[in-house]
Amino acid sequence: MTDEAYNFAYLDEQTKAMIRRAILKGIAVPGYQVPFASREMPMPYGWGTGGVQVTAACLVPEDRLKVIDQGADDTTNAVSIRKFFARTAGVATTERTVEATMIQTRHRIPEVPMKAGQILVFQVPIPEPLRFLEPREAETRKMHELEEYGLMHVKLYEDIARHGQIATSYAYPVKVEGRYVMDPSPIPKFDNPKLSCSPAIQLFGAGREQRIYALPPWTKVESLDFDDHPFKATKAAHDCDLCAAGDSYLDEVIIDDQGGRMFVCSDTDFCAGRRAKGHKGRLWAPEPEAAE
Amino acid sequence: MTVMERVVATDQPLLKVEGLTKRYGARIGCADVSFDLFPGEVLGIVGESGSGKSTLLSCLAGQQRPDLGRVAYEGRDVLAMGETERRRLSRTDWAYVHQNPRDGLRMGVSAGGNVGERLMAVGARHYGQIRGKAADWLGRVEIAVDRIDDRPSAFSGGMQQRLQIARNLVTQPRLVFMDEPTGGLDVSVQARLLDLLRGLVRDLGLSVIIVTHDLAVVRLLAHRLMVMKSGYVVEQGLTDQVLDDPQHAYTQLLVSSVLQV
Ligand SMILES: Nc1ncnc2c1ncn2[C@@H]1O[C@H](COP(=O)(O)OP(=O)(O)OP(=O)(O)O)[C@@H](O)[C@H]1O
Ligand SMILES: [Mg+2]
Ligand SMILES: [Zn+2]
C-alpha cells in the first residue's frame, strides 16, 4: 500500500517534471550529460540517489520494478531501494528480469536480453569520463562540445603502457552514435556490448554530480579502443559453478579458508532461472543453505 | 633550401599582425603591435618584466582575446574563426611551449602518453605507431627511451622542458609560440636546451615566436627581434642590427645591462 504521507514515488510533482525534462533532453541528445537539480533523498549518496530520482520520475502505478546491485536482488542496497518504492509508490516489485518494466541497477546489465518497453536505470557515481585526466569542469564541457576526445585514448594508452593491455575493466568509456563519449557507469566491460542497439530505454542518473544522460532504444554504442588493441568483452574463463552457464558474467567467491573458490553468476535471477530449468553446475547442491 | 632561402623565396607572411591591443581594465597589456612573420623565421620578443610579452603571445595564440587589431594566419582571420577551428589549429599547425613545464605537460601521464596526446587528438588510433613516434621524439630531445613510461614528475626541470618540446613538435606544427622556454633552468641546462632548440628549428624549418628576457637566447635563435616597453614595441629589426646598434634609449639600456652581467 502506498504510504499516504508521501507523494507518489516520494518526489513532488514539480521535481519529477523537472527530472523528466532532463531525461527527455538526454534522450534527444544521446550520451550528453544534462545538468539537473538533484534533490536530497532519504538515503546516502553512495546508494545511488541519482538513479533513485530517475526511477521516481519515470515510475507509473502499473510498473513492476526490479532493483539490482552488482547483479543481485538481495543486497541491502537493492532491498532498501525496492522497499522504498514499494512503500512510496505502491508499485509491484519483482526479481525476474523478464517480468520487470523498470529496472534500477548498480554495476550490471542483466544477462537476459532487454525488451522493448523496459527502462533500465543506472546508478552513476562519476558521470564525466574525461575527469580522470582533466579535472577542470569548464574544460571537460568544452571538450565534449568540440568533440576533443583525444584524452580518452591517452587514458587507454597509459593502460597498455603500464599493463601490456587495456586494463580498464569497469566504467569502460564508450562513444555514442559517433558523437558523445560517455561513462557507462561502473558496469564490467563485459556488459558494454549490451548497451548498443538495445530495445530498452537506458537512463543514467548521477545524484551527487547532478547529471542525467540517456540512450534511447537502438542507439549505437561503441567501446573505445586502438586498431592494434581492439576492445574485448572479457569475463572469468570459467562456467558458473551453480548453473553451468558459460556465457554469463561471474563473481569469484571464497568458500573456505583453504583458498577454495567458486565462480557464480553475478546475475542472481539469471542463475536461479537456469537452475530451475535443471542446469547444474560443478558445485550445485540442492540445499546450499545446509553447507553454511 | 635553407631557411634563409625560404624566407627570401616566400613573400606571403605566415602570420600577419596589425594594431594588436589588449587592456586589463585601465592597464595596458600590449598596445598597437604590428609585425609580419614569414615561414621559417624566428622572431624574438624581449623587454623587461611587465612589458607585455606574455600578453602579446597569448593573444597571438588565441588564448586571450585582444581588444583591437587583426591577426591573420596564412591569410585567415584568426580572431573571426570559430573556437572549434581555432582549437583545431592549436592542436595541429601551432604549438605553445610554456615557461613552466608543469603548465604544458600532464604530470599524471607518462612521458610517452604526453608525447602521444597530440597524435591521438588528431585521430591516431594505432598504439604501436603512437608509441614508436613517442620513442622517436624522446630520442630527438635527448631523453633516454627507457624513460618512456615514467611520469614527468620523475624528471629534472631540463628534461621536463625537453619533454614539453617533444610533446609540442610531434605533430609537426608550423608555428611555435614559446614563453621563456629556458627560464627557471640552470645556466648549463639552458645552454643545452638552446642548442637543441636551435637544431630542431633548423631541421624542421619551424616558424617561432619566442619571448625571453635573456638576450643570449635571442642572439642564438632569433632572426629578428622586437623590443617591448610598457606594452608598446619600441624597436624592431634584424637581431644583429638591433643588438649591435640599438636606437631606442630603452634598448640601449637593455643591451648594456646584459653586457655588464
Ligand atoms: N591577467 C591579468 N590581469 C591584469 N593585469 C595583467 C594580467 N596579466 C598581465 N597583466 C598586466 O599587463 C602588463 C603586461 O604583463 P605581461 O605578463 O604580459 O608582461 P611580461 O612582459 O610577460 O612580463 P614577465 O617578463 O614578468 O613575464 C603588466 O602590467 C601586468 O601587470
Ligand atoms: Mg611573461
Ligand atoms: Zn549461474
Residue A60 burial class via C-beta count within 10 angstroms: exposed 0-12, middle 13-18, buried 19 and up: exposed
Query: Does residue A198 surpass a pLDDT of 60?
Result: yes
Q: B232 pairs with which residues across the strands? A: B229
Q: What distance in Å separates the CA atoms of residue B180 and residue A69, rounded to the nearest whole number?
A: 54
| Distance from residue B213's CA to the centre of ligand 1 (Å) | 14
Buried b / exposed e along B23-32 (16+ C-beta atoms within 10 A): eeeeebbbbe
Q: Do A151 and B122 touch (CB under 8 A)?
A: no
Ligand 1: atom nearest CA of B25 is 4
In angstroms, the first-to-last Cα distance of chain A is 36
Q: Do B118 and A150 touch (CB under 8 A)?
A: yes
- Give the residue on B whose Cα is nearest the Cα of A144: B84
| Distance from residue A240's CA to the centre of ligand 3 (Å) | 5
The residue whose CA is least distant from atom 25 of ligand 1 is B49
Per-residue pLDDT of chain B (261 residues; tens, 9 = 90+): 555 555 555 678 999 999 999 999 999 999 999 999 999 999 999 998 899 999 999 999 998 999 999 999 999 999 999 888 898 899 899 999 999 999 999 999 999 999 999 999 999 999 999 999 999 999 999 999 999 999 999 999 999 999 999 999 999 999 999 999 988 788 888 888 889 999 999 999 999 999 998 888 899 899 999 999 999 999 999 999 999 999 998 889 888 876 544
Please give the grid coordinates belonging to residue B43.
622572431
In angstroms, the first-to-last Cα distance of chain B is 38
Question: Of A153, A162, A223, A228, which to mutate for an interface test with B (greatest number of B Cβ within 10 Å)?
Answer: A153
Q: What distance in Å separates the CA atoms of residue B93 and residue B172, rounded to the nearest whole number?
A: 7
User: B24: part of which helix (H) or strand (E)?
Assistant: strand B15-24
Q: Do A158 and B109 touch (CB under 8 A)?
A: yes
- Residues A214, A201: contact at Cβ < 8 Å? yes
| Distance from residue B51's CA to the centre of ligand 1 (Å) | 7
Over range A54-75, report the average pLDDT: 97
Model confidence, pTM: 0.87
Q: Which ligand sits nearest to residue B24's alpha carbon?
A: 1
Please give the grid coordinates belonging to residue A259.
583458498
Q: Do A157 and B128 touch (CB under 8 A)?
A: no
Q: What is the pLDDT of residues A103-160, one digit of tens each?
A: 999 999 999 999 999 999 999 999 999 998 889 999 999 999 999 999 999 999 999 9
Q: What is the pLDDT of residue A104?
A: 98
| Residue B104 CB less than 6 A away from ligand 1 | no
- Residues B178, B149: contact at Cβ < 8 Å? no
Q: What is the pLDDT of residue B260?
A: 46
| Secondary structure (3-state) at B191 | helix
Query: Does residue A161 surpass a pLDDT of 70?
Result: yes
Percent of chain B with pLDDT over 70: 95
Query: Does residue A217 surpass a pLDDT of 90?
Result: yes
CA-nearest of A64, A92, A69, A80 to A2 is: A92
Query: Does residue A216 surpass a pLDDT of 80?
Result: yes
CA distance A162 to chain B (A): 7
Distance of CA B228 to the CA centre of its chain: 17
Q: What distance in Å separates the CA atoms of residue B73 and residue B67, rounded to the nearest whole number?
A: 18
Residues of A annotated as catalytic are 31, 240, 243, 265, 271
Helix then strand count (H, E) for chain B reads 11, 10
Q: What distance in Å separates the CA atoms of residue A2 and residue B85, rounded to the nearest whole number?
A: 56
| Distance from residue A186's CA to the centre of ligand 3 (Å) | 21
CA distance B118 to chain A (A): 7
- From B55, B103, B218, give the residue whose CB has the most ligand 1 atoms within 8 Å, as the site to mutate: B55
DSSP string across A228-274 = TB-------SS--TTT--SSS-EEEEE-STT--EEEEES-HHHHHHH
Residue A81 burial class via C-beta count within 10 angstroms: exposed 0-12, middle 13-18, buried 19 and up: buried
| Residue B24 CB less than 6 A away from ligand 1 | yes
A133 touches chain B (CB under 8 A): yes
Q: What is the pLDDT of residue B188?
A: 85
Which residues does chain A have within 8 Å of residue B127's beta carbon, measured at their own beta carbons?
A: 157, 160, 226-229
Which residues does chain A have within 8 Å of residue B106's beta carbon, measured at their own beta carbons?
A: 133, 154
Query: Does residue A292 surpass a pLDDT of 50?
Result: no
Which residues does chain B have within 8 Å of residue A146's beta carbon, measured at their own beta carbons?
A: 83-84, 87
| Distance from residue A245's CA to the centre of ligand 1 (Å) | 67
Query: Does residue A29 surpass a pLDDT of 70?
Result: yes
B128 touches chain A (CB under 8 A): yes
Q: Do A146 and B84 touch (CB under 8 A)?
A: yes
Task: List phi, psi (to 5°) of B225.
Answer: -135, 140
Q: What is the pLDDT of residue B183?
A: 83
Name the average pLDDT for chain A: 94
Q: What is the pLDDT of residue B261?
A: 42
Q: What distance in Å separates the CA atoms of residue A9 and residue A83, rounded to the nearest whole number?
A: 11
The residue whose CA is least distant from atom 3 of ligand 1 is B24
Cell numbers 616566400: residue: B10
Amino acid of residue B107: M
- Give the residue on B whose Cα is nearest the Cα of A153: B120
> Which B residues in the span 184-243 are in contact with A, Cβ-Cβ below 8 Å?
none
Q: Which ligand sits nearest to residue B45's alpha carbon?
A: 1
Helix then strand count (H, E) for chain A reads 7, 12
Q: Smallest Cβ distance to B125: which of A158, A162, A227?
A: A227
Residue A254 burial class via C-beta count within 10 angstroms: exposed 0-12, middle 13-18, buried 19 and up: exposed
- Residues B218, B246: contact at Cβ < 8 Å? no
- Residues B88, B123: contact at Cβ < 8 Å? no
- From B20, B22, B27, B99, give the residue whose CB has the most ligand 1 atoms within 8 Å, as the site to mutate: B27
Q: What is the pLDDT of residue B10?
A: 60
